Amino acid sequence: MTLREINFDGIVGPSHNYAGLSPGNLAATRSAGAVSRPRAAALQGIGKMRANLRLGLVQGVLLPHARPDRRWLGELSTSYEDASAHLRAQALSASAMWAANAATVSPAPDTADGRCHLTVANLLMMPHRSHEWSETLAQLRLAFADPAFVVHPPVPAPFGDEGAANHMRLSVTHDAPGIELFVYGERGGSFPARQHREASEAVARAHRLDPARILFVQQSEAAIAAGAFHNDVVAVANGPVLFAHEQAFEHRERVHADICRIMPEAEIVEVPADRVSLADAVSSYLFNAQLVTVPDGTITLIVPGETRAHSSVWAWLSEMIAGNGPIRRIEMVDVRESMANGGGPACLRLRVVADPATVDPRFLVDEAKLDRIAEVIAAYWPETIDADAIGDPALIVRLESARAALLGSLDLVELTYR
CA-CA distance, 248 to 260, in Å (whole number)?
17
| Contact criterion met (CB below 8 Å) for 238 and 301 | no
- The pLDDT, as a whole number, for residue 389 is 84
| Contact criterion met (CB below 8 Å) for 270 and 246 | yes
Average pLDDT for runs of 10 along the chain of length 418: 94 88 62 83 96 97 96 95 91 94 98 98 93 97 98 96 97 97 83 89 98 97 88 96 97 97 97 95 92 96 90 94 94 83 84 98 98 98 90 92 97 80
- The pLDDT, as a whole number, for residue 229 is 82
| Contact criterion met (CB below 8 Å) for 79 and 382 | no
| Contact criterion met (CB below 8 Å) for 161 and 254 | no
DSSP notation for 109-140: GGBTTSSEEEEE---TTSTTTTT-HHHHHHHH
The partner residues of 9 in beta bridges, in order of sequence, read 61, 349
- The pLDDT, as a whole number, for residue 388 is 83
Contacts of 256 (CB under 8 A, 6+ apart): 268
Contacts of 400 (CB under 8 A, 6+ apart): 66, 67
The partner residues of 106 in beta bridges, in order of sequence, read 117
- The pLDDT, as a whole number, for residue 83 is 94
- The pLDDT, as a whole number, for residue 272 is 97
| Contact criterion met (CB below 8 Å) for 241 and 178 | no
User: Which domains are seen in the chain, by residue range?
Assistant: 4-415 (3.75.10.20)
Report the helix count and the strand count for the chain, using DSSP H and E: 14, 15
CA-CA distance, 179 to 206, in Å (whole number)?
16
CA-to-CA separations, 357 to 6, 49, 159, 199, 351, in angstroms, rounded: 11, 19, 35, 31, 16
- The pLDDT, as a whole number, for residue 316 is 95
Contacts of 205 (CB under 8 A, 6+ apart): none
Active site residues: 162, 230, 347
The conformation of residue 66, written as its DSSP 8-state character, comes to P
| Contact criterion met (CB below 8 Å) for 326 and 238 | no
- The pLDDT, as a whole number, for residue 27 is 55
